[in-house]
Amino acid sequence: MIIASIEALGDSPVERMEIAGGGFINFFFRKEDLGSVIVAIHLADRHYGSSDYGKGKKVIVEFVSANPTGPMTIAHGRQAAVGDSLCRILKAAGYEVHAEYYLNDAGRQMNLLARSVWARYHELLGIEMALPEDGYKGEYVRQIARDIIEKEKKDNLHQEPEDKAIEYCGAYAVKTIMSWIETDLAKMGVHFDHYFSEKTLYEKKSVEHALEVLRQKGFLFENEGALWFRSTDFGDDKDRVVKKSTGEYTYLAPDIAYHLSKYERGYEVLVNFWGPDHHGYIPRLKAACQALGYPPEAIHIGIVQLTTLFREGQPVRMSTRAGEFVTLRELYDEVGVDATRFFFTMRRQESPLDFDLDLAKAQSQENPVYYLQYAHARIASLLKFSGEKVTTEVDLGLLSSKEEGELIGCLSQFPEMIMAASRLTEPYRLADYLRQVAACFHKFYSFHRIVTEDKDLTRARLLLSDATRIVLRNGLELLGISQPESM
């Protein structure tokens, strides 16, 4: 469709196009029009790459949504980097974007957390109490209990009614852990427009409302005392229980209510990023969203696979059952936020990621984020010390070498790359593209002097270099990565 549309333009600067696979198209510009691309980049500046492709459609992107039961892990960190980068890309592509964190502050895990803190509280007071089975064992649980005693001066909490005391421990733990999570997200440059509390779904009777909506549509039925959702009507392999015969809701019921709230708030496109343990849950939730009124093409549920850390070629051992795990904070403190974000987004999110800690810290061009930032800094330094002002009043015909043509052609694909990444909800495509831009520039730089005795050629090459800087800067911003002027 894109090729046909461009071919229909009589004055198109595109000489020919080739389908490159993976949803990409290679554009080959007429030589006489190639230079106009860098003029357009210079004039658009920070707006280059942006478009109205999304036509203002309202998109809600839900990601991270980690249970507030412990510090953020590297698994959550990858979801954060992928989700936030996609939000930035969608905005650049012309969508109206809302970033949301679904706060799982109700249910069994919250009760386990509260009881784990309660047990550690007793331990710190010298009172014997066993940790609940499957309780949380991390040192952070003991620290929360210590804060209740020392910071909140609650050393007599054990004398109060146990249910009230446990409720206090749970509320304090969630508040504390969410403050850690929000600090980590802010440090990573990850923005959320809203934290949606699961508790409110019960307080506002939203779960009952959602099930009544499905009942009126004819998608619920009763069997053996339980309430079932006809998810097979929408391609699921079997129907799903939403309310047990005991009257207890299954996990699916509040999820249906939450997604109904998205529909009622007017969001036209849903994007969810989940961890790999939720893979089997996708068909039933997609079925629920369709039952609520969303067309299949408006529902995008992506799995963000796990990350394995490597140091000196060996995997870093982790054991969450024992309460020992590498936190996101430990990772970005060691390698930096820029490296953390780029490494998390440089591979397709559905693929497991091997994160090389030594490479992420390397001050060399083997480090992909260093490679990009070095290209940006090299150009910024070059422009600063060239003694020439970048201008569009240049002879573009002087940019006639193969390397210059390849670089300009690569720069011209930036807007299409943003549209492709937004359409496919895959930020890695932008990360991969920026590496191609940097490679083309380094190749051009190694073959040609930019500042020469020929003033006209110098001005043309400075304009090309500045266009490259603009693309690198704009692209790195979309990935939430800094763009240093010097290194």
Query: Which of 42, 67, 9 is CA-nearest to residue 320?
Result: 67
Q: Tell me how far apart the alpha carbons of residues 464 and 199 are, in angstroms, rounded to a whole number.
A: 55
- The first and second tokens of residue 244, run together, are 């047990």
For 32, the enclosing helix (H) or strand (E) is helix 31-44
Domain's final residue, options 187, 218, 250: 187
What's the CATH code of the domain at 36?
1.10.730.10
Whether residue 400 is contained in a domain is answered as: yes
Whether residue 62 is contained in a domain is answered as: no
Q: What's the pLDDT band for 105 if we cut at 50, 70, 90?
A: very high
pLDDT at 144: 98
pLDDT at 95: 98
| pLDDT higher than threshold 60 for residue 156 | yes
The letter for the amino acid at 133 is E
DSSP one-letter code for 320? G
The radius of gyration of the chain from alpha carbons, rounded to an integer in Å, stands at 27
* 304: Cα within 13 Å, side-chain hemisphere: 29
pLDDT at 1: 42
Q: Exposed, middle or buried: residue 156 (CB in 10 Å: 0-12, 13-18, 19+)?
A: exposed
Q: Which residue has the higher pLDDT, 245 or 25?
A: 245
DSSP one-letter code for 319? B
- The first and second tokens of residue 258, run together, are 């939450």
Q: Which residues contact residue 446 at a Cβ distance below 8 angstroms, ignoring those fewer than 6 apart?
A: none
Whether residue 338 is contained in a domain is answered as: no
Q: From the centroid of its chain, how far is CA 229? A: 31
- The first and second tokens of residue 250, run together, are 């299954």
Tell whether 384 and 458 lie within a shared domain: yes
- The first and second tokens of residue 441, run together, are 């520039």
Q: What's the pLDDT band for 15 if we cut at 50, 70, 90?
A: low
Tell whether 374 and 459 lie within a shared domain: yes
- The first and second tokens of residue 213, run together, are 């909506």
Q: What is the pLDDT of residues 167-209, one digit of tens each?
A: 999 999 999 999 999 999 999 999 999 999 999 999 999 999 9
Mapping DSSP to helix (H, G, I), strand (E, B) and coil, where does residue 273 land? strand
Q: What backbone phi and psi angles, to 5 degrees, belong to 54?
A: -80, -10
Number of independent structural domains in the chain: 2
User: Per DSSP, which regions of 244-348 are E strands?
Assistant: 269-274, 299-303, 307-311, 314-315
Whether residue 448 is contained in a domain is answered as: yes
Tell whether 375 and 473 lie within a shared domain: yes
Give buried/exposed letters for 447-460 (b at 16+ CB in 10 A, else e): eeebbeeeeebbbb
Q: What's the pLDDT band for 107 if we cut at 50, 70, 90?
A: confident
pLDDT at 317: 74
Q: What is the pLDDT of residues 300-333, one digit of tens each?
A: 999 999 999 999 999 987 654 455 678 999 999 9
| pLDDT higher than threshold 60 for residue 14 | no
pLDDT at 191: 98
Q: What is the pLDDT of residues 417-455, one digit of tens each?
A: 999 999 999 999 999 999 999 999 999 999 999 999 999
Q: Give me the domain span that covers residue 441.
A: 30-47+365-479
Q: What backbone phi and psi angles, to 5 degrees, belong to 303?
A: -100, 130
- The first and second tokens of residue 389, run together, are 């002002």
- The first and second tokens of residue 383, run together, are 């422009």
Distance (Å) of CA 264 to CA 72, 217, 289, 298: 31, 16, 12, 15
Q: Tell me how far apart the alpha carbons of residues 55 and 296 are, in angstroms, rounded to a whole number.
A: 19
Domain's final residue, options 170, 187, 204: 187
Q: Note whether 245 and 224 are within 8 A (CB).
A: yes
The letter for the amino acid at 361 is K
Share of the chain above pLDDT 70, in %: 92
Q: What's the pLDDT band for 31 if we cut at 50, 70, 90?
A: low
Q: Tell me how far apart the alpha carbons of residues 113 and 68 are, in angstroms, rounded to a whole number.
A: 9
Whether residue 333 is contained in a domain is answered as: no
| pLDDT higher than threshold 90 for residue 74 | yes
Whether residue 158 is contained in a domain is answered as: yes
456-483 average pLDDT score: 98
| pLDDT higher than threshold 80 for residue 19 | no
Whether residue 214 is contained in a domain is answered as: no
Q: What's the pLDDT band for 102 if we cut at 50, 70, 90?
A: very high
| pLDDT higher than threshold 50 for residue 2 | no
Q: What is the pLDDT of residues 376-419, one digit of tens each?
A: 999 999 999 888 889 999 999 999 999 999 999 999 999 999 99
